[in-house]
Structure 1
Amino acid sequence: MRMVKKRFVLPLFLLMLIALFFSSGWMAWVYPIGYKEEIRKQSDSYNIDPFLIASIIRVETNFKSSKESRVGAMGVMQLMPDTADWAIEQGKLPEATHDRIKHEPATNIEIGTWYLRNLSNQFGDNSLEVIAAYNAGPGNVKKWLKEGTWDGTLENVRDIPIGETRHYIQRVVYYYNQYTKVYETF
């Protein structure tokens, strides 16, 4: 009797695993996106690809709010305090305290997405240059491009002199590609 149960249960279990594997939604468990409404709202407001915003958040904090890095970057998009203050002033964004930027994902995503729009304007919507500038600062990226250190392509990302930025770009691009495969729309 036990042998019959095992012969029945194992194939049933394998069938369920195969069905799960081929169902369309299983990859969303592996690549979840948090704060979808906030991302969608700011994506529409600032005309930034929502998958880019989600990919940056995934790499920065894996959608965990209230994070602060060892260098002081705050919230889900890991905004540096000076960058956040500058963005609030330049973008005429609603005043936000550093505490709100750190603990309120909606506030952090609004400021971070405005900053991505600003970077996109500076770098002609070249998403790789924008990602690099988000990590290393626009001054560094402009210097690399002007001096020919890096040509702004993924193929030559190894030419970027800061290892953290090279790795950052590769990770953001990886998650961007996964999100666009897993989710038909945002």
Structure 2
Amino acid sequence: MRMIKKRFVLPLFLLVIAALFFNSGWMAWVYPIGYKEEIREQSDSYGIDPFLIASIIRVETNFRPSKESRVGALGIMQLMPDTADWAIEQGKLPAATTERIKHEPDTNIRIGTWYLRNLSDQFGDNTLEVVAAYNAGPGNVKKWLEDGTWDGTLENVKNIPIGETRHYIQRVVYYYNQYTKVYETF
């Protein structure tokens, strides 16, 4: 009798745990999104998919502010100081010092999202080209597209001559897909 109970209790326990696991939103713990309000606000302002912004931040810094890369990129969206200064001037954005860009996520997200909007305008809203340009610069991506090195598709991302950019696109796409599965809305 005791053995029969164990046979039924363990599977029942595992079934209950599995039901809780799949219905409790646990995946949001695995794929958290920080700074949702700031992302949502800038997404609305510039017409950029909030999941794309979150995916780029996840790949760049995993939502940890105050980062500076070895090449000098700053803050949560890893903006190069020259790019940030250019975006502030072109976008008529509120002036920001490099310290603010590095340490204030809302400032960094505003400038980074404006820059994504600018790249989207340049690349006809082709998200993969925008992501590639965010990483490698718009000049490189335009050159690859014009000379036929890359056709702007995920299937041919292997043709991008910069390994870091190939990997970057794949990671952003991965997190974008995860976020859109885990979160019904932003």
TM-score normalised by length of structure 1 = 0.93
- 1:89-141 CA deviation, whole Å, 9 max, x = no partner? 00000000000000000000000000000000000000000000000000000
Q: How does 1:134-149 map to 2 (within 5 A)?
A: 134-149=134-149
Offset of residue 10 of structure 1: 5.4
Q: How does 1:36-185 map to 2 (within 5 A)?
A: 36-185=36-185
Amino acid at match of 2:147: E
Offset of residue 22 of structure 1: 1.8
Query: Counterparts of 1:102 and 1:42 in 2: how far apart (Å)?
Result: 17
Offset of residue 12 of structure 1: 6.9
Query: Counterparts of 1:185 and 1:109 in 2: how far apart (Å)?
Result: 19
Amino acid at match of 1:26: W
Query: Counterparts of 1:75 and 1:7 in 2: how far apart (Å)?
Result: 54
Amino acid at match of 1:175: Y
Of 116-125 and 17-26, the range deviating more from structure 2: 17-26
Query: Counterparts of 1:60 and 1:20 in 2: how far apart (Å)?
Result: 32
Query: Counterparts of 1:85 and 1:122 in 2: how far apart (Å)?
Result: 19
Amino acid at match of 1:66: S
Where 2:70 maps in the other structure, the secondary structure is: coil
Offset of residue 26 of structure 1: 1.1
Q: How does 1:19-34 map to 2 (within 5 A)?
A: 19-34=19-34
Query: Counterparts of 2:55 and 2:101 in 1: how far apart (Å)?
Result: 19
Offset of residue 14 of structure 1: 2.6
Residue segments in structure 2 that go unaligned for 5+ positions in a row: none
TM-score normalised by length of structure 2 = 0.93
Query: Counterparts of 1:100 and 1:16 in 2: how far apart (Å)?
Result: 48
Amino acid at match of 1:116: L
Change (3 A) 1:13 1:102: farther
Amino acid at match of 2:14: L
Query: Counterparts of 1:66 and 1:9 in 2: how far apart (Å)?
Result: 50
Amino acid at match of 1:176: Y
Query: Counterparts of 2:67 and 2:12 in 1: how far apart (Å)?
Result: 43
Query: Counterparts of 1:154 and 1:169 in 2: how far apart (Å)?
Result: 8
Identity of aligned residues (%): 88
Offset of residue 142 of structure 1: 0.1
Offset of residue 17 of structure 1: 2.7
Query: Counterparts of 2:22 and 2:119 in 1: how far apart (Å)?
Result: 39
